Amino acid sequence: MSLDEQRALVALACRVAAARRLVDGILGHLSLRVDDERLLIRCRSDTDTGVAFTRPADIRLIRFDGSAGAAGELDGYRVPNELPIHAETLLANPEYRAVAHLHPPAVVAADLTGITIRPIYGAYDIPGAWLARGGVPVYERAVLIRNSRLGKEMVAAMRGRPVVILRGHGITSAAASVQQAVLQAISVDALARMALTIVSADGALRDIADRDWDDLPDLGSGFTEAAWRHEVARVQPPGDDAERVAR
């Protein structure tokens, strides 16, 4: 995939996250590792109108230290204050190529309520159930993660898991692809919203039965691709050029 196609993919993923209400306004950003020294990341400009309206031009090539990854890349653009979220997460695990830092209200509310993300359902969302079974840890500081020290603290709190909740803040989701990073965030958000609904109805949260896991199979890459096509269709009209980066 060319650099321009990768920019278009990250921009599309930003719009998908906004359509799912995982971000609102101008806050939140996604990144994609290009090589050992550089990444593409959503940056801001004086014409920025918010994550829901991210353009490929808003996705800039930078180095892990925040400097321009090529001539002109930061002309008129500013890197996110929380670049260390992306840099430290990617540097800590070479298998990760993408990071989504998002602000889903339901996840923040569930954590502040004292709800732990648990596998409370199964076939309703099998990838989400398995994600919850492995655990979704919490970084307990509600700070702006604007330096390497705080970024490393957050990575330590992840404990090797792909998603971490940032208390009073949002989440960080890391994966081998930008599509998977966003789909993980959607699953965690769905689990949080379901838990909040149950608790608000005076219900009790219960994990699914141990015997059910044998019949909750890995649905494979085909399912992931289909799920992503659906997310793209929510934000792109049929026939739009962005469909070429849907997968």
Query: What are residue 30's DSSP bridge partners?
Result: 100
Burial of 237 (0-12, 13-18, 19+ CB in 10 A): exposed
CA distance 90 to 155: 10
Token output for 17 = 């996250």
CA distance 63 to 247: 26
CA distance 74 to 219: 41
Q: Is 153 one of the catalytic residues?
A: no
* DSSP SS3 for 50: coil
- Of the candidates 5, 37, 82, 88, the residue annotated as catalytic is 82
Which residue has tokens 């500013």? 78
Q: DSSP string spanning 185-225?
A: HHHHHHHHHHHHHHHHTT----PPPGGGGGGS---HHHHHH
Active site residues: 82
